[in-house]
Structure 1
Amino acid sequence: MIDDKAFFKLVLDTTPDQVVVINSAGDIVYVNRSWQNFGEQNDCACCDMWEQQNYLTECEKAAQKGDSFGLKAFNGIKSVISGANGDFYLEYPCHSEDEKRWFMMRVVSFNHIDNAYYAISHQNITERKLAEEQVQKLAAIDGLTDIANRGFFDTFLEQEWNRCQRLSMPLSLAIIDIDDFKLLNDTYGHQQGDTCLKMVAKVLNEHTKRPSDLCARFGGEEFVLVYGNTNSDQALLVLNDILENLKQLNIENKHSLPSRTLTVSVGLTTITPSSDFTAAYLIKEADDLLYKAKDKGKDALCVSDLALV
């Protein structure tokens, strides 16, 4: 005949999920082997005294230290205990110094001998989260140059436009086009063309350091730079530095005269966003300036400061 208590303890100890059972006051009454192992592996000071701990108190302590997930866990567990919700789920990060980790907490209630208890399980969902991160990265990154793609740029610019409008800050945008790129491709081959795109992208990306900066591939041989809270003079300083760095690459292109090396044309514009304009207007202005630079004979930078208009 099966000893129910011993049998179900063995069952719970075989699951890789960390399981803790608490009473209505939040006191821990049971933890399984996976829970104990996790505590030992992560140097938890109280791993030998789980049944002397209050789970809700620990969540509350974490919340008071600014852990938003601790607060969510506390409120979620309380909602199940109060009967407001039948169960509760929470996905949360639990990164260590060595690796990224995520877990999903699930809270369900049950009754035993006229007493209410709450089983809290923590399932490791790191593999799924890493896969999701990779998908998100691939969705936002240009596969060739490893910088942001056009779709991500559109989203970023709209967000930065709204932020700068709210704070009355200038926003600068530059469109950069590699001169005579089609001829470069035809003469030196597409592999060399791809190499040039990667090298140019690397230089541009090195000049976007802040959260309000972005370097993206705009399409083909065109790139775009966004600089939030940056006036025209500041943006011009950055662009001049970029142009100097690109010249130092000394990439051969015999069609770019007279230098016979790779050159770019740039349209740079600055505006303080307002309800009178849109982000699309800023892009069009920079694009028009780019074509003015091309008309000047390429290897040129044309600038306008709409913030002063």
Structure 2
Amino acid sequence: MPSAPPSPPPRDVFVWDATLLTGLDDVDAAHHHLVDLFNALNRALFQGPGSGMSDQAQQAVFDELMAYARQHFEEEEQLMRDAGLDERHRRLHERLHREFVEQVRSMWDTRGQLRDPAETLMGFLTAWLGLHIMGVDQSMARQLALMRAGVPASEAYAREEQHPDRGMANLLRMVGQLYHVLAERNRDLERANATLEQRVRERTAALEAANRRLEAFSRIDGLLGIANRGYFDERLREEIARHARQGRPLALVMFDVDHFKRYNDRYGHQAGDACLQAVARALQAQFYREPDLLARYGGEELVALLADTDADGARLVAERAVAAVRALGMPHEDSPTAPVVTVSAGVASRTPTSSADGACLLHLADEALYAAKRAGRDRVVVAAATDSP
């Protein structure tokens, strides 16, 4: 009896073409190589039975992709610094790089717990790669072009803020093509035993589940397991609008781990990650109301959003949180503040009247945080311009 013909190789889910070009030769070459590595990982994950692709071989492909992504990120960040790109864009760009590494590593390490690990991981990677190339990198390239024409960095950034997002249509088209490839693959596997109606129901359910998983991953900081900066920004806008309608106070508390660089230098980055995770858990325990939110703001900075809370109420919660971190008793021998890990906190509260109050609250809380640091750290300072109860 003749053997069945071999299964066709998996299709590339990301195709390099002219729509992905930024006009920056080194950046475009790096993106092209990322796409090649991305498709190599897709082929490794979707190889059929008997292909000989071992777990170790899949791991090697993944490690190569991650190593090159880190190299590309470092080169891009150096390019932005050398060019003098506006700091606001650089901070956003660097945060997206950092979150990508953390989130993808977390998804890869826990893929055994996912129902469809290959489809979920590749769906996330494809969506992110589209956002990276068609979104923030195109924005970077446009700003650099303006600066080469003599436009100051701050003005180039302001113009870009008003620039219509032409990459979004391409991003949506790309994600749609990804799901089309995955759905076609599922249809081929199920055609012999399933009716058309059943196949449609199964594909729809799988797509909805993948979307839910992708949405969850897009909101969570991969290292700390709390909300990330993007989700915090979204919630802040929503809460500003809601509290403005209701005429109720909204509070922010900014936290920063004291002398964290010294901690990393003394104990190593792995211990530094564990320290941040322990601090996040201690802080999270203090923000237990349903509307409240604790998020990673960047690096060792965290921020808490407290609904319907005036300055005095936010100060009390912040003081409990600072005490909770101190009570962990994590040794910090190189800290001039205390022999254990501590945090400083800045509090701001106001009753919003417009969408601009979100930026105002962040500024006030940030100023209060730095006042707490100047006053000796391991303490809470309330912003002077904060609303009174």
Higher percent of residues as strand: 1
Aligned residue type for 1:205:
Q
Q: Report what 1:52 is aligned to.
A: none
Q: In structure 1, the residue corresponding to 2:201 is in which secondary structure?
A: strand
Aligned residue type for 2:323:
E
Q: In structure 2, the residue corresponding to 1:123 is in which secondary structure?
A: helix
Mark the runs of 5 or more structure 1 residues left unpaired by the alignment: 1-119
CA distance in 2, matches of 1:136, 1:276: 25
Q: Report what 2:286 is aligned to.
A: 207
CA distance in 1, matches of 2:355, 2:278: 38
Aligned residue type for 1:307:
D
Say if 1:259 and 1:135 are closer, same or farther in 2 by CA, change over 3 A: same
- Alignment of 1:159 with 2:238, yes or no, is yes
- Please list the CA deviations of residues 256-299 of structure 1 after superposition, one character each: whole Å capped at 9, or x if unmatched: 23521001111111111113952001101110111111111211
Which aligned segments of 4 or more residues in structure 1 are displaced greater than 6 angstroms? none
TM-score by length of 2: 0.47
Contact 2:322–2:378 (CA under 8 A) maintained in structure 1: no
CA distance in 1, matches of 2:330, 2:355: 42
Q: Following superposition of structure 1 onto structure 2, how do residues 59-74 of structure 1 map, counting pairs within 5 Å? A: none
- Pick the aligned partner of 2:381 from 278, 302, 306: 302
Aligned residue type for 2:307:
G
Q: Following superposition of structure 1 onto structure 2, how do residues 87-106 of structure 1 map, counting pairs within 5 Å? A: none
Q: Report what 1:234 is aligned to.
A: 313
Identical-pair percentage: 37
- Pick the aligned partner of 1:123 from 201, 205, 210: 201
Displacement of 1:237: 1.7
Q: Report what 1:168 is aligned to.
A: 247
- Pick the aligned partner of 1:275 from 354, 365, 388: 354
Q: Report what 1:67 is aligned to.
A: none
Displacement of 1:152: 0.5
Q: Please, what is the CA RMSD of the aligned residues?
A: 2.1
Aligned residue type for 2:382:
V
Displacement of 1:302: 0.5
TM-score by length of 1: 0.58
Say if 1:303 and 1:137 are closer, same or farther in 2 by CA, change over 3 A: same
Q: Report what 1:94 is aligned to.
A: none
Contact 2:248–2:351 (CA under 8 A) maintained in structure 1: yes
- Pick the aligned partner of 1:245 from 305, 316, 324: 324
Greater displacement, 232-241 / 215-224:
232-241
Q: How many residues align?
A: 191
Say if 1:254 and 1:168 are closer, same or farther in 2 by CA, change over 3 A: same
Q: In structure 1, the residue corresponding to 2:242 is in which secondary structure?
A: helix
- Please list the CA deviations of residues 210-241 of structure 1 after superposition, one character each: whole Å capped at 9, or x if unmatched: 33211000000000000010111211221121
Greater displacement, 262-271 / 229-238:
229-238
Contact 1:272–1:306 (CA under 8 A) maintained in structure 2: no
Aligned residue type for 2:377:
K
Say if 1:258 and 1:197 are closer, same or farther in 2 by CA, change over 3 A: closer
Contact 2:322–2:345 (CA under 8 A) maintained in structure 1: no
Larger Rg: 1
Aligned residue type for 1:308:
S
